[in-house]
Chain A
Amino acid sequence: MMDWISVSLLAVGAVFTLLAAVGVMRLPDLFTRMQASTKSATLGVACMMMATLTHFGDLTVSARALLIVAALFLTAPVAAHAIGRAAYLRGVELWDGTMFDELREHREGRTSRTRGERGRGDAFDHEDEDLARAGELTGAGADRRR
């Protein structure tokens, strides 16, 4: 019985991890790829850790497996947030089909604008000035450090 639980957890974990890798290879831009890598891979590895827990059934091994899962669940979102924010601020391009860019709305102070008004063409129109803005803001920070 426990063996079958281990086998199914291993299989589910492997499928999730493989899906994460396929997503990282095939999805169109950095932010969607990050979606695949951070969520799906973390869940897959957590499933495999649960498989080791049920397979060995030892207290020390179980504690270690739970510790690894806790560490992954704590660190993966923080790392993804850090790299995503850094990439956005340095002007990495969003996918053409991106519908909402709430961080830009926030930074431009246009909070009164309703979300539904932003169409797909609109995202293109402001792209250049947004890149310039991002460069200007972070460039000012870089100058201050030098």
Chain B
Amino acid sequence: MSPFVVETAAAVVLAVLALSAVLAFVRIVRGPTLPDRVVAIDLIATVAVGVLAASAIAFNQPALLQPALVLGLITFLGTVAFARYVQRTGQR
């Protein structure tokens, strides 16, 4: 078996993840309310964690998992902050 099959698969996965991010971005543009956009931003951040995981394989750089961990935790804080904002001031 070719030694680069996993790296090639990771590159293909990167393209699929880019498509996922574009689809989530369509939802950010269309709205219609703030919570919809927050959910889409949350999805994009989760996709970004996946992109870092696939990049770690594709470029053989395991150090890329550290920003993935930080991104996963920061996203949570952002979403909860948005949720509190929505609950206090309304959905626009």
Contacts and interface: CB of A to CB of B under 8 A. Distances in A.
Interface of A: 3, 6-7, 10-11, 13-15, 17-18, 20-22, 24-25, 30, 33-34, 37-38, 41-42, 44-45, 48-49, 51-52, 55-56, 58, 60-61, 64-65, 67-68, 71-72, 75-76, 78-80, 82-87, 89-92, 138, 141-142, 145
Given A61-B65, A80-B39, 15 more contacts: A6-B57, A10-B6, A14-B13, A17-B47, A21-B23, A24-B43, A30-B39, A37-B39, A38-B42, A41-B47, A45-B47, A52-B56, A64-B62, A68-B53, A71-B69
Given A68-B68, A71-B72, A79-B76, A25 B27 contact: yes
Given A45-B50, A68-B49, A75-B73, A37 B83 contact: no
B76 A21 contact: no
26 contacts: A3-B6, A6-B57, A7-B5, A10-B6, A11-B13, A13-B53, A17-B17, A18-B23, A21-B23, A21-B24, A22-B23, A30-B35, A30-B36, A37-B39, A37-B40, A41-B43, A42-B46, A48-B53, A61-B65, A68-B68, A71-B73, A80-B42, A82-B79, A87-B86, A138-B87, A145-B88
